[in-house]
Structure 1
Amino acid sequence: MNVLKTIKIITIISVMAGTGCVFSPHSQKHDDVTVIVTAPPRAEPEHPRTDGMHINEKEHQHVNKGDRKGHVMDDRIPKNEVPPSPILNVDLALQSIKVQDGFKVENIVSEPYVFNPITLTFDANGRMWVCEMTRYMPDTLGTGEQAPEGNIAILEDQNGDGKVDKRTVFLNDIILPRTVTLVKNGILYADHTQLYFTEIIEKDGNLIPGVREVVDPTYAKGGNLEHKTNTMLYGIDNWYYNAKSNKKYQTIALDKPIPFGAKEIYRNQYWKLVRATSDYRGQWGLTMDDYGRLYHNGNSSPAQGEYLLPGSLLKNPTYWPKMGADFIGNGDIYSLRMNTGINRGYMNGMLHEHGDERGKLKRFTAASGSVIYRGDNFPEAFYGMAITPEPAANLISARHIIEQEGKLSGKNVYQQSEILASTDERFRPVNLYTAPDGSLYIVDMYHGILQHKEFLTTYLQNQIKARNLDEGNNTMGRIYRLRWADNALGVQPKMANLSPTELVPYLSHTNGWWRDTARRLIAQASINERDQNAIKAIQALVINHNDERVIINALWTLHAIDAVTYTTLKPLLEQGSTQVKVAAIAVSNKLAKTDHTAFAQQLLALADSDYRVALQVALNAGDIQSPIAMQASEKVLDTFIDKPFVREAVMSGAGLRSNELKTLLGQYPDKKMMYIINNLGKKPAERTNRAQLSAQGQSLYDLGKQLYNGAGTCFGCHGVDGDGIKGMGPTFWGSEWVINEPEILAKVLLHGLAGPITVKRHNWQTSMVMPGLANNLTITDKDLAAIATYLRNSWGNNADTASEIKPEFFSQIRQATQKQTTPYTQKDFD
């Protein structure tokens, strides 16, 4: 393996008292690496520090926030049997990593040129823009967490040898940076709360920040560090999508009308930013396949894929179905080392306890930023696989995606082993990316402590101390490349200064990163920069190319620049592959109205031809201003009514023409469809029983709502709308666990609940355990009563009319259940 040689630290200076150190702002050379700081001086914190240094240390000697009253946190594997976890230099770290035959792993960059990397993006010239969360958990108290010392650094390969040889600190005063993405003339990035725009100015060959402004003050507001919005993935439909969020963003020209359902939230001299609602998805990281479908994950599951394009079921303002996501394979993992250093490692079932696998983690517990590999370095057999890092088990796991009718699934690429795994406990892969050179880039935080202090248990704290994992943090970081050993890497891109016409050939590149980037640059170019030659070249690509991936990408590029024509779409609808037909229909909302009647005839002809095509016919019928389009939608319903998503697609796709569809369908002979029709406009997520509560109940309800979305972090697993998140937490809507017996709800809130459980006659299984709040010193009995009151009287629940759940009730249950030593199970209440 080629290893980046050890590099000496060059001059480092302290820029201000109490804020740590950064590289000298003067360009210096050492061992062929240039380090530059172009960031402005760090600002003083506006508020007193609220980090772990101010927490009562006496309390921490006895309890951590993740502890659960009565849990017996004994080691299931004696500490002296667990291998040590020393800090390894890059050479030794590479030796600790094992990959499957045919692959090899190389280090691209390491400390002192990258620190605590957690996410990155590539610009049009292939430079990496990296978020460095340099204050994340340096010790078990999270000391200094809120210090504004996080960076956005630019890492460059100037000589084309595939290794970083220049570091530029672009910004260095960010509190816990978590998101960075490219936009025209700048970047969007997020700290622990807000989304910002920073202008990029090129000066003397270096990139420096210009105007810096807040664009969304609520981007990541609320919740704790592990449950905040992140990612900003540029989707195929030219919207930026996020994990742990139901918001999406788009930059559009200053004179362009705002899309239906969106709201302008910011503008600068280049463009305006609009925000709209999307499907709520994921926890950390987001990725996309060639068709534009999004994939996310929960911490206890690998990639989860959405069968339809994002927003497909959000077109009708009087109807709110959930698209959901499918698990891509199971959550089993195969580690190379003992993984006792996990938060609930003391609980039965988390670790293997016998044989060669003794002490190893059984299933995902910290799944991080997945990727759908779309590069051109691996053999074709690996193209399109879903790859998910598991930093708690120091490995990366790969699954082939299987598409069935209305469903995605998957199977492991390797049986009972992983594509990559390490014996180094400090190897923390937290994000994966298809790189411009066609390989897979691995962001390794290289950090001893993975669990945030808000959830840290005393068990894990003791594990950390036993192997000195609280030492040497926040001073290291690595980015690796996984490549196919026998295949050459791609060339460094140089697209930043190309015109739209010059970018068109890259829409057909074999590497998905190049196709996506060319589409973004063309889409975000001004009208003055874009001429008819570019449009004609893209249309020719659509007509003449034989690769569906290229055709689909080109179609969405035409969609972004308002250049979709019926002449372009018609031959695709007649002769294209299934996915090409789906894309051609999906972009039809940009057709000129003079083409709607002819296009509606095409929809009617396709309505009974193929299930997947028919779904898209229904989903776009409301956009085509012709009664024939609604007839096509009815035909889809008649032909495929018992297949997944069909009823939802028909009603969502009707959009603003629901009444027209209702009239057409009449008394339709399907009870489920009539239930949908008869309940249009009735949004369960907005139904509340607050007005019917007592005065005290209303006060508790308001507090409970705040806690649900804040300190209680309930929304992280159960969704902002309380309807649950697949693989994480079940729905609260009409849940017997919430509304039937307040004593059961109180016990669960106090001491937690482990599955499987039955909710509304459906079996709910997840490896996640709902933690109780009994031992959380920041949550009082009044707070618990408030959360319970909110749960029991929101989303259509009306359990406490003229009453409330009293704080004294929780005090009584707390006293009566003080000997409860583990989370409850369903058997405890049967």
Structure 2
Amino acid sequence: MFKGLTFKRTFQFLSLVLISICCSQCKTDPLSAEASLDNMTVEEGFEVKLIASEPLISAPVALTFDNQSRIWALEMNGYMPDTLGTGEDQPSGKVVILEDEDHDGVMDTRKVFLDSLRLPRALCLIEDGLLVGEPPYLWYYEIKKDKPGKRVLVDSLYADEGNVEHQPNGLLRAMDNWIYNAKSAKRYKKDGDRWIIEQTHFRGQWGISQDNYGRLYYNHNSANVIGDYFTPGLGATNKNQREVAGYNMSIVPDNRVYPAHATPGVNRGYLPGVLDTTQRLVNFTAACAPLIYRGGYFSAPYRLNSFVAEPAGNLVKRNVMTLDSGYAASGVQAYQDREFISSVDERFRPVNLHDGPDGALYVVDMYRGIIQHKTYLTPYLKQEIKKRNLTLPLVCGRIYKVVPKGKKPDFRKMPEDPQVLVRLLADRNGWIRDRAQQILVDRKSKDVVPALIKALQSNNINARMHAFWTLEGLHALEAPQVLQFLKSQHWPLRMQALSVLPSVINKATAAGYVQVLTAPAMLGDKLAAPYLGFLTNTIRKFDPAAADLMQNQLLKRYAAEKFVADAVISNLEGKEEAFQKQVLRQFPDTALVINKQLKTIVTNKFNARNSDDPKETERKYPRGAALFRTNCQTCHGADLNGIKSLAPPLNKSEWVTGKKERLIAIVLYGLTGPVEVNKHLYTKPEIMADMPGIAGSNEFSDEDIAQLLSYIRDYGRNKADKVKQPEVAAVREQLKGRDKAFTVEELLSHKVTK
């Protein structure tokens, strides 16, 4: 479409023309890509380089690189064309391929691989095809000379619930050869022509990343960095266990941000404490795209730092991480009063961050005035958008990369030679290591197995871990190699061996593994103890007596350790009551963590059994149930029991079953701050998100809201009387003119809700 140097000579002119056409009446004009770059500040010692902008790219939300270092980018052109979301459901999204033909660091050409997509949100290259998340579907397209071939439906329910802000995304190919998502509890793997879908932990909201050990990191819009202490494939096997210690942990609890300019145009800027005295955002409100930088190109103080995008504040934050202190990970903000990247251009909207083949840090800038979805768009923010004419333009988008000042990273392509790919498993750039592993697995390169086994002895620990998981992906990892890692003095290698066992153990090898796992040295290893807890069911399939021995020894040594207790409980679905009695006989102290955790689960199961069938409630209020799944479930959980670090439970909540006027007011205008539910005070970091109101949305009629609230009030153990449309209308009328969320104190004192 735009070729080579012809585009380079004309793209600035075309960009300015497009902006002039769209925004000639703007009070605060949008900026060309070059001008926006001039209004950006980056940490001393770095520079930001523009590598693509309109018309080469439009409304990008995610990207990935192929083996030739070309960018495959997703364009979500349909997102929020105006404050009503007019035409958002139109098939205007695209997957485009951008290429830097002369290797000067600027993209030259654009090819449209797919078009006519509805709000596409995730993509992933695997084997000879491309995964694309297009709600509600996950598709796999074969790639034939940069054109789509056969299309296969991988998952018809990939993103079937929630709105645009609350649907699965990410499609991260992790070290363990599975594909993981944010805002999802599913993982995927391609096995020949078959796609395997398994349950995993529910993680995050927008964006997902991994560290060098294969642990995952994510966040929510109000949280800096959340993540896992343990590798991702363990501990998600007990549906009665709502939380598993070590997963969904607050890794960087400090949520303070430091925008470079006044930011009144945030969704709840009218609330006390959201903006400071200079009208700048105080804490994250749109945190997304956490990236553990593994590019290897930055100097040592920046390696394995986490970077987090905040599009509402027009900034990218840097956190210094501690990732190798046992199994726990932690981090602190790199500095106070400033950010790694900040801009005074309020349309600078960093929505995704990526490592690249060259080691640079890539920033995906959607470049939109409206970044808040219509479902949660407050009247206050609508006025701010109108005041500064932020709706247009809709044709912009930029991709930047951050590099050390004065340095030009080398252009890199992945080699064809599989032996060279094995050597690249030791590369300093984590993107290169990941991609080398993926290519070898995708191509089923069994001829490199001897070289991979040799790489297990490398002095480079990253090479050893990647070689280990490459062998697993090729179905060529054998017991001697696993046992070697299990007995290693290096914890990261023991971690990988413990993590891989469910994938490789069989009748022939079980005895050898059991001997090592039940040895005093392993049982006394505090770092390994949670992993052993997760593995007891795996061992039980082959040696029940050994599994009982492991379990008993773990309880004797670690009954007061929450990570071990939850790991053991993760294997007990359907057996919690019997196990509780067994543990109480052995450890009668009810204050022990294992007993407290079991009591909670057994109580929850009892309550669930004594609740009415939720399907009956759905039959009574089908519209309410559908609205709940789309707008409420992603924060409050499918069972209304809340989601850790997001929102409190609605089941057995006095706010739900109490005065209808109070509940209606909350749903219409939202609730902010700490809230007590069923004698438990929920506040940060246990929950992070404020409850947004929907009074300003044209999507919900009073009858819709009545149906939704009736469904919630009749669900599970709530059993309160239904809400009627006139009751919603009456509260809406009494609160007419209100444009802010309630606090608990205000709600309790307000005359409408008394």
Give the structure-1-normalised TM-score: 0.80
CA distance in 1, matches of 2:85, 2:736: 29
Equivalent in 202, 205, 222 of residue 300 of structure 1: 222
Partner of 2:711: 790
Kept after mapping to 2: 8 A contact 1:564/1:587: no
Counterpart amino acid of residue 526 in structure 2: Y
Q: 1:661 to 1:727 in 2, by over 3 A?
A: closer
Q: Secondary structure at the match of 1:593?
A: coil
Secondary structure of the equivalent of 1:709?
helix
Residue matched to 1:423: 344
Q: 1:665 to 1:129 in 2, by over 3 A?
A: same
- The aligned runs of 1:23-38 (5 Å cut-off) are 23=1, 30-31=6-7
- The answer for the alignment partner of 1:335 in structure 2 is 259
Matched, 1:569 2:482: yes
- Asked if the contact 1:668/1:674 (under 8 Å) is kept, the reply is no
Encode CA deviations 1:205-244: one digit per residue, 9 max, x unaligned: xx22222343323222233222222121112221111122
Q: 2:148 aligns with which of 209, 212, 216?
A: 209
Distance 1:491 1:681 in 2: 58
SS at match of 2:44: coil
| TM-fit CA distance, 1:682 | 7.3
More helix by share: 2
In structure 2, relative to structure 1, the CA distance for the partners of 1:614 and 1:34 (3 Å cut) is farther
Task: Determine if contact 2:562/2:594 at 8 Å carries over to the other structure.
Answer: no
- Give, in angstroms, the shift of residue 659 of structure 1: 11
Question: What per-residue deviation string (whole Å, max 9, x for no partner) do you get for residues 436-467 of structure 1?
Answer: 10110001112222222333334323323333
Could you tell me which residue of structure 2 aligns to residue 614 of structure 1? 529
Contact 1:328 1:410 in 2 (8 A): yes
> For residues 653 and 582 of structure 1, do their structure 2 counterparts lie closer, same or farther at Cα, with a shift above 3 Å needed?
farther
Q: Is the 8 A contact 1:338 1:361 kept in 2?
A: yes
- Contact 1:220 / 1:229 at 8 angstroms: preserved in 2? yes
2:81 is equivalent to residue 138 of structure 1: yes
Give the corresponding residue for 1:53: none
CA contact under 8 A between 2:559 and 2:594: conserved in structure 1? no
Name which of structure 1's ranges 592-601 and 93-102 shifts more when overlaid on structure 2.
592-601
State yes or no: 1:275 paired with 2:189. no
Q: Does 1:366 align with 2:281?
A: no
**Residue 763 of structure 1 aligns with which residue?**
682
Q: Secondary structure at the match of 1:285?
A: coil
**Cα distance in 1 for residues equivalent to 2:210 and 2:241:** 26
Q: Whole-Å Cα distance in 2 between the matches of residues 821 and 515 of structure 1? A: 50
**Structure 1 contact 755–769 (Cα < 8 Å) conserved:** yes
Q: Which one of the candidate residues 261, 273, 278 is aligned to 1:349?
A: 273
Q: Distance in 2 between matches of 1:780 and 1:184?
A: 47
Distance 1:318 1:431, change over 3 A: closer
Which ranges in structure 1 are unaligned for 5 or more consecutive residues? 1-22, 36-82, 254-270
With 342-351 and 375-384 compared, the bigger mean Cα shift is at 342-351
**Alpha-carbon distance in structure 2 between the residues aligned to 1:819 and 1:108:** 46
C-alpha deviation, 1:607, in angstroms: 4.2
State the alpha-carbon separation in 2 of the partners of residues 687 and 335 from structure 1. 50
CA contact (8 A) 1:789 1:800 kept: no
- The alpha-carbon distance between structure 1 residues 461 and 819, as it changes in their structure 2 partners (threshold 3 A), is closer
Q: Name the amino acid aligned to 1:550.
A: A
Partner of 1:239: 178
CA distance in 2, matches of 1:336, 1:815: 40
Distance in 2 of aligned mates of 1:425 and 1:166: 28
Aligned to 1:393: 313
Counterpart-to-counterpart distance in 2, 1:820 and 1:668: 58
Give the aligned CA root-mean-square deviation in angstroms: 3.2
3-state secondary structure, aligned to 1:464: helix
For the Cα contact (< 8 Å) 1:316–1:653, is it kept in 2?
A: yes
Q: Secondary structure at the match of 1:87?
A: coil
Kept in 2: contact 1:564–1:591 (CA 8 A): no
Contact 2:376 2:693 in 1 (8 A): no
Do the aligned partners of residues 567 and 692 (structure 1) sit closer, same or farther apart at CA in structure 2, a change above 3 Å counting?
Answer: closer
Q: How many angstroms apart in 2 are the aligned matches of 1:125 and 1:397? A: 30
Residue aligned with 1:173, SS: strand
Q: Provide the C-alpha distance between the structure 2 equivalents of 1:386 and 1:225, rounded to a whole number of angstroms.
A: 25
User: Secondary structure of the equivalent of 2:313?
Assistant: coil
Write the distance in 1 (CA, Å) between the matches of 2:643 and 2:339.
27
1:249 aligns with 2:188: yes
How many residues matched?
719
Partner of 1:722, secondary structure, is coil
> Residues 132 and 378 (structure 1 numbering): CA distance in 2 closer, same or farther, change over 3 Å?
same
Structure 1 counterpart of 2:748, which letter?
Answer: F
Name the counterpart of 1:195: 138
CA 1:720–1:407 in structure 2 vs 1: closer, same or farther (change >3 Å)?
farther
Deviations 1:84-107 (A, max 9, x none): 743222332221111111111111
Residue 470 of structure 1: SS of its match in structure 2?
Answer: coil
Q: Which amino acid aligns with 2:283?
A: R
Secondary structure (helix, strand or coil) at the match of 1:392 reads: helix
Q: In structure 2, the residue corresponding to 1:30 is in which secondary structure?
A: helix
Mapped to 1, the partners of 2:184 and 2:248 lie a distance apart of 14
Deviation for aligned residue 1:735? 3.4
Alpha-carbon distance between aligned partners in 2 of 1:657 and 1:723, rounded to the nearest angstrom: 21
Q: Is contact 1:28–1:34 with CA below 8 Å preserved after alignment? A: no
When structure 1 is superposed on structure 2, of 104-113 and 344-353 the one drifting more is 344-353
- What residue in structure 2 maps to residue 170 of structure 1? 113
The worse-fitting range, judged by mean Cα deviation, of 438-447 and 628-637 is 628-637
Q: How far did 1:663 drift?
A: 10
How much has 1:182 moved relative to structure 2?
A: 0.5
Whole-angstrom CA distance in 1 between matches of 2:604 and 2:179: 29
SS in 1 for 2:528: helix
Quickly say closer, same or farther: Cα 1:674–1:345, change in 2 above 3 A. Answer: closer
1:133-174 alpha-carbon deviations (Å, 9 max, x no partner): 123233334343222222111111222222212221111221
Q: Describe the shift of the 1:659–1:351 C-alpha distance in structure 2 as closer, same or farther (beyond 3 A).
A: closer
Are residues 121 and 658 of structure 1, via their aligned partners in 2, closer, same or farther at CA, if it must alter by over 3 Å?
same
Tell me which residue corresponds to 2:20: none
Q: Distance in 1 between matches of 2:560 and 2:108?
A: 58
Output one character per residue of 1:659-716: Cα deviation in whole Å (capped at 9) or x when no partner.
Answer: 99889868331545357668679758976844599x9x66444433211112xx1123
The superposition leaves residues 50-99 of structure 1 with CA deviations (integer Å, 9 ceiling, x where unpaired) of xxxxxxxxxxxxxxxxxxxxxxxxxxxxxxxxx97432223322211111
Structure 1 CA distance, aligned partners of 2:729 and 2:339?
48
Cα distance, 1:784 vs structure 2: 3.4
**Pair 1:250–1:698, CA change in 2 (3 A):** closer
Gaps of 5+ in 2: 12-25, 750-754
How big is the shift at 1:804? 4.5
Bigger shift: 96-105 or 460-469? 460-469
Judging changes above 3 Å, is the alpha-carbon distance between structure 1 residues 197 and 667 closer, same or farther for their aligned structure 2 residues? Answer: same
CA deviation digits over 1:285-331, x for unaligned, max 9? Answer: 11111122111111122221122222422134675544333141311
Q: Distance in 2 between matches of 1:233 and 1:367?
A: 18
Is the alpha carbon distance of 1:143 and 1:317 closer, same or farther for their aligned partners in structure 2, counting shifts above 3 Å?
closer
| Distance in 1 separating the partners of 2:661 and 2:281 | 34
Checking the alignment, whether the CA contact within 8 Å between 2:379 and 2:696 is kept in structure 1 is no
Partner Cα separation in structure 2 for residue 734 and residue 311 of structure 1: 32
What's the CA shift string for 1:33-62, capped at 9, x where partnerless?
Answer: 999xxxxxxxxxxxxxxxxxxxxxxxxxxx
User: d(CA) in 2 for partners of 1:215 and 1:371?
Assistant: 27
Q: TM-score, normalised by structure 2?
A: 0.87
**Pairing 1:222–2:161 present:** yes
Counterpart residue number, 1:585: 498
Equivalent-residue separation in structure 2 for 1:768 and 1:396 (angstroms): 20
**Which residue matches 1:257?**
none
Q: Secondary structure at the match of 1:212?
A: strand
430, 447, 451: which one pairs with 1:537?
451
The 5 A counterparts of 1:9-158 are 23=1, 30-31=6-7, 85-158=28-101
The separation in 2 between residues aligned to 1:502 and 1:792, in whole angstroms, is 62
Per-residue deviation at 1:653?
Answer: 4.5
* Residues 4 and 101, structure 2, Cα contact 8 Å, conserved in 1: no
State whether structure 2 residue 511 is matched by structure 1 residue 600: no
